[in-house]
Structure 1
């Protein structure tokens, strides 16, 4: 049981799926079959589904996907569950399979490990009410060895989910722009799928809307990820997209992670619209339609982003890292009467209220393209939306490793002591409205800026994010923080 529980990664399941010299397989056939059994119990007992249960299974381009799908299908079908094989798919599409009337699935299972190296894989689970929570994954793993009775015959069918999903995006963009069937005609757009599952966006979404996608790259699925890590938050990946955009003289670049729940955009000058800039762009778009809405972000966003959102009469609510955390917080705010149209992280995870609060990189890009088409018709571009967004002079992230085996209590002790340390330091001021770690505003000799020390969600790491509006400000901050961190022998500074 402990080996199974170790596969839980928040609201996902992840493990080693391919043997390497350094790693043994943890996502074995036996483990996968037990996960399928636990999922059966989850659907029948916790979700209280009866009759013919319908489950869609899809996967990204990972090399181990077929093996995992086969093991899942064998157990689910033996339990009388109708299995629909969506083949190569995206994580958002697996949830939409539970919403589309043409499919009407009770559950969607996505086989993916996002941007992690090729030897990893994992499982994400959706029902008609949304993505599985941490408690649901725990339930599945804890019930993985229980048996169920079955009297129904098994069926397995193939479906073309991605065509349905792509057509849905095309329809929504056309309806929003409202000018023609090809609102992107005259635009050259580079799509970089990183050899993951996002190649469909060029061929089945942008091309039907009139865009020239001839300069797109790495659209073919390849689980070795031979060109770059499929990650919009990766410098090498963004440099590759920049090169393609500039060399082809494209109007825009779009990049996805492996399973297309994250995205970023690049303008014609090779300027990245990711991290704070991406949040600013979608915030500007949504605030036109929903004045004063609250933009829920993770804890690492810039103070300049908050000022930008407030300048547009919006509100920013900085919450904890983790896409399920920010989505849950946006849903909670709406439930207590505080309108929030989006939950978004600097990593590119974004979930819009109008789209089921689904973490969907393709829909985020589609929503931005709706505005892009209107701006282009007026002779403007996306950068005009964020012309007033100030950028820091310097920014950085350090990842301080915790060498103590019991790393969580050790990290919490460091945070507690760090708060006391900051309080007695001149020109450091604790951020009063803070939900994660210790966030500090700087002034005086350090200049205007901020830094945040927090615990990583799952790793023995304490990320330290720093921004300064003054050249050399980060060095000054680090010089005065160094004595504190060097006092902790199990903390690698």
Structure 2
């Protein structure tokens, strides 16, 4: 048998599409068969499988498991839960990899798969290779078994192991995503007073879209914090691997600001350690890490790429603007919003200040939202190279880690190609509005020279 996936679902970091349109039950089965062959090729015989709370996750999981077992691999079912719970399962169970059925933070009609094998994320070229293997019908035959394992309690136990924080008044918003049931158990183990909203799993997301990095989705959490006069609020995305937060004044604490707060205790424990953030992060963060005696490292955007860089450098902590926070210090190195929340409570505790006071003390900058520019797939990377070459020729200060990041006396601006869409993404940050205007003018000028027009600003 052979199977062709819709090429749009074979993405950089995972497999993801619209159920019933670009992603079907047949795709889930074929992925199981193809992944089984890849696993057996590496002598991996047992794979943990979890799913999020979407309405079609159970159906896709069943088809995936049928494919895995018919391909000769045993499936260990960890049930419905956040992606980090499945990642945790791969570390503590006798398994050789894992697959989470999840649409992450996408709308309700999306779903997909995050893949792990032998301690690594399967991403990039490996995902493309799975597509080729399925099309060629390179499948193994076998008779794998399935077993169910209840792991939620062990996961919650591990989340609070060694916790040394104080009790605060905290609001939580699980956004009806898969982290809800774990959150309900977690807050019973933490000191303080906790108020959780939307912790009931509902794959239709009736209250708001489960993406805490979009400020509009934090309105309910801000309201809760204001109404109950809480110390701060924490929100999760649909599969619990990205965190959002607000302080007592309702100000959003962005991914790089969270990382700046979390870095303190980690560098206290591991002086001089490397802390990684993606190229979208504020210069304020990199300066803060250096000030704390750490080695700031700017790296490419994308959770699989960050995880790989952490392994290479031995960094105890990393993060992205998108709210993925990775702890290797006292944890396993994967992105886990529930664990990041626990560590945030600890970090605020040891600071001796409130989260609001910590935010007040942060250097104030002005930043744009992500600016997006439509561009043909074939021109996407070429345009960035043109801009880089022009700027380098002009003697500009350019960092080409991932796209082009340009530093000037006003601040910095970034232009990079999206890994998942036919767009260029830009961002700028300066000390004041006139400086920001000058930076944005530079971006527009460079793109005009490459005949690219801005389409929209996405907040």
Q: TM-score, structure 1 length as denominator?
A: 0.84
Residue 200 of structure 2: SS of its match in structure 1? coil
Shift of 1:262: 1.0
**Conserved in 2, the CA contact under 8 Å of 1:401 and 1:461?**
yes
Q: Quick check: which has more Rg, 1 or 2? A: 1
Equivalent of 2:158, from 160, 163, 168? 168
Shift of 1:368: 2.0
Residue 68 of structure 1: SS of its match in structure 2? helix
1:41 alignment partner in structure 2: 37
Equivalent of 2:85, from 83, 88, 93? 93
2:396 alignment partner in structure 1: 429
1:441 aligns with 2:443: no
Separation in 1 of the partners of 2:91 and 2:189? Answer: 24
2:131 alignment partner in structure 1: 141
**Conserved in 2, the CA contact under 8 Å of 1:99 and 1:128?**
no
Alignment of 1:470-481 (within 5 A): 470-479=432-441, 481=443
1:417 alignment partner in structure 2: 386
Alignment of 1:52-63 (within 5 A): 53-63=45-55
> Which is worse superposed, 131-140 or 217-226?
131-140
- The 1:232/1:197 distance shift into structure 2, 3 A limit, reads same
- The 1:320/1:80 distance shift into structure 2, 3 A limit, reads closer
- The 1:449/1:71 distance shift into structure 2, 3 A limit, reads same
Residue 178 of structure 2: SS of its match in structure 1? coil
CA deviation profile, 1:428-472 (whole Å, cap 9, x unmatched): 8323x44122222233xxxx2211111111211111111121223
Is there any run of 5+ residues in structure 2 with no aligned partner, and where?
none
Separation in 2 of the partners of 1:476 and 1:160? Answer: 56
Equivalent of 1:297, from 277, 290, 297? 277
Q: TM-score, structure 2 length as denominator?
A: 0.90
Shift of 1:126: 2.1
Residue 172 of structure 1: SS of its match in structure 2? coil
Shift of 1:73: 2.0
Shift of 1:373: 4.0
Separation in 2 of the partners of 1:326 and 1:93? Answer: 19
Equivalent of 2:265, from 266, 285, 291? 285
1:196 aligns with 2:165: no
Separation in 2 of the partners of 1:439 and 1:208? Answer: 43
1:31 alignment partner in structure 2: 27
**Conserved in 2, the CA contact under 8 Å of 1:61 and 1:221?**
yes
1:311 aligns with 2:291: yes
- The 1:394/1:492 distance shift into structure 2, 3 A limit, reads closer
Is there any run of 5+ residues in structure 1 with no aligned partner, and where?
19-24, 178-182, 335-339
Separation in 1 of the partners of 2:350 and 2:451? Answer: 56
Shift of 1:194: 0.7
**Conserved in 1, the CA contact under 8 Å of 2:403 and 2:417?**
yes
1:64 alignment partner in structure 2: 56
Alignment of 1:147-158 (within 5 A): 147-150=139-142, 152=143, 154-158=144-148
Alignment of 1:265-280 (within 5 A): 265-280=245-260
2:227 alignment partner in structure 1: 247
CA deviation profile, 1:186-208 (whole Å, cap 9, x unmatched): x3221101110111343211212
Separation in 1 of the partners of 2:453 and 2:5? Answer: 28
2:324 alignment partner in structure 1: 349
1:21 alignment partner in structure 2: none
**Conserved in 1, the CA contact under 8 Å of 2:5 and 2:131?**
no
CA deviation profile, 1:328-365 (whole Å, cap 9, x unmatched): 1222223xxxxx21221111112122322212111211
1:180 alignment partner in structure 2: none
- The 1:430/1:199 distance shift into structure 2, 3 A limit, reads same
- The 1:105/1:302 distance shift into structure 2, 3 A limit, reads same
The answer to which structure, 1 or 2, has the higher relative contact order (CA under 8 A, 6+ apart) is 2
